[in-house]
Amino acid sequence: METIDRIYLDYAATTPVDVRVAQAMLPYFTELFGNPSSAHFFGQQTEAVLTTSRQKVASLLNTQPNEIVFTSGGTESNNLALRGVALAQREKKGANHLLVSEIEHHAVLHTAKQLADHFGFELEFLPVDEYGMVSPEDVRNMIRPKTALVSVIYANNEIGTINPIRAIADACHEKKVIFHSDAVQAAAHLPIDVRIEGVDLLTIGAHKFYGPKGIGALFIHRGTPIMPLNTGGGQENDLRAGTENIPYIVGLATALELARQDLKDNTERMTQMRDNLISTVLGKIKRVKLTGHPLLRLPNHVSFAFEGMNSNYLLTLLDAAGFACSSGSACKAGLSKPSEVLLAMGFSKNWAKGSLRVTLGRQTTQDQIQAFCEILPTLVEKARSF
């Protein structure tokens, strides 16, 4: 029998589907099941909702519907952006150089590494400062005539730092280089406008903003050279073949719309809890640092490094006490290696092994944060003594 109250503080890993989103999706599994490519009535019904969903997403990101491609999630959007642009740019002008930041999500990092290891591209890493931020000046200096693509994460999943995306986009465009940004975390919390940001490609994924897992989108600015990864029936503007996942596309569009509606209130509420949590932990515990930028960070995102501690011990103790947190990226759980992101930011191994990420969400309350702050010092002490 479950005897403890479980508190979820890992909203950067994933979020529950909003009930309103689930309700909007439901009819498209059963009554409204036609294939949007079919010419008959059933197909027209789902083609219509595909069109309105695409319009909704495009208008929320301030772009045109034909610049939105639906994918199976953030990972696939990043794969399509990197591999698709790299291959097209090499074909078009012999470009063979890729520039990505040191703190990309694995969906970007491992795609770039594969392009380097197996497809003959040269991969170079943009450094980050102590806050995990990329400098537009470095981008400007490191771009070469043969650069096919620059990719920089909008807001980092592990440390919450928000990059100066507009300035990086400007640096790329001065040199006529294509710029992609992984905005999977950012889209949940910031009113992203692709025109203001000036990006050529931008990745979003629904399950980070109370939509379903397994659905994402890629904004591709009109005219950007890109090769499809999925070839077949010509769906999604010939860029992502396969019968469209209508219920999930409806889910993504609905979830993004709701996220935007509640953005201001949620941001204020979460920023307050976030800053409360940060100052309490820094005040109560010794040999701890906030990781990532203190101000230019996601409103729901808190991350620390504890010296002389292994984060897996702490996560296990927290879990036993009912608190679900993370050491950084969910994909890395299980391994007890020092965080690559923290190492890139200049932390020593003795600090980088002791990372903790606490991410807040719509269901988080101040009481939960207080309970967390009360238990954390004892658990850190225990984890340090192992």
- Residues numbered 67-106 forming contacts with ligand PLP, rule: CB under 6 A: 73-75, 105
The least distance separating ligand PLP from the CB of residue 383, rounded to whole angstroms, comes to 25
The least distance separating ligand PLP from the CB of residue 89, rounded to whole angstroms, comes to 22
Binding track over 124-153 against ligand PLP, x by CB under 6 A: -----------------------------x
- Distance, CA of 147 to CA of 177 (rounded, Å): 7
CB of 182 or CB of 200, closer to ligand PLP:
182
CB of 185 or CB of 254, closer to ligand PLP:
185
Residue nearest to ligand PLP (CB): 74
The least distance separating ligand PLP from the CB of residue 186, rounded to whole angstroms, comes to 8
**3-class DSSP state for residue 75?**
helix
CB of 47 or CB of 236, closer to ligand PLP:
236
Pick the stretch among 123-131, 177-185, 266-274, 360-368 that binds ligand PLP (CB under 6 A).
Answer: 177-185
Contact 82, 180 (CB under 8 A): yes
The least distance separating ligand PLP from the CB of residue 182, rounded to whole angstroms, comes to 5
- State the catalytic residue, choosing from 172, 325, 331, 373: 331
CB of 215 or CB of 315, closer to ligand PLP:
215
325 an active-site residue?
Answer: no
Binding track over 157-176 against ligand PLP, x by CB under 6 A: x-------------------
Q: Does 182 bind ligand PLP (CB under 6 A)?
A: yes
CB of 134 or CB of 379, closer to ligand PLP:
134
Among 63, 135, 185, 224, binds ligand PLP (CB under 6 A): 185
CA of residue 193 relative to chain centroid, distance: 16
Write the DSSP assignment of 122-176 as a string of letters.
EEEEE---TTS---HHHHHHH--TTEEEEE--SB-TTT-BBP-HHHHHHHHHHTT
Contact 308, 350 (CB under 8 A): yes
Binding track over 197-216 against ligand PLP, x by CB under 6 A: --------x-xx-------x
- Which amino acid appears at position 351 of this protein? W
Pick the stretch among 60-68, 167-175, 178-186, 357-365 that binds ligand PLP (CB under 6 A).
Answer: 178-186
The least distance separating ligand PLP from the CB of residue 209, rounded to whole angstroms, comes to 11
User: Which tokens in the block code for residue 160?
Assistant: 């919450």
- The phi-psi region of residue 75 (left if phi > 0; otherwise alpha if psi is between -120 and 50; otherwise beta) is alpha
The least distance separating ligand PLP from the CB of residue 52, rounded to whole angstroms, comes to 23
Find where tokens 């999977």 sit.
184
- Distance, CA of 186 to CA of 51 (rounded, Å): 25
- What is the longest distance spanned by two Cα atoms in the chain? 68
Q: Does 184 bind ligand PLP (CB under 6 A)?
A: yes
Contact 306, 356 (CB under 8 A): yes
Phi, psi of 235 (to 5 degrees): -65, 170
Helices 246-261, 263-284: axis angle to 10 degrees equals: 70
The least distance separating ligand PLP from the CB of residue 373, rounded to whole angstroms, comes to 25
Bridge-based pairing state of the strands 355-359 and 301-306: antiparallel
Among 80, 81, 100, 107, binds ligand PLP (CB under 6 A): 107
Find where tokens 């920089």 sit.
152
How many chain residues are in contact with ligand PLP, going by CB under 6 A? 14
CA dihedral 149, 218, 199, 117 (to 10 degrees): -20
Enzyme catalytic residues: 331
Rule CB under 6 A: which residues touch ligand PLP? 73-75, 105, 107, 153, 157, 182, 184-185, 205, 207-208, 216
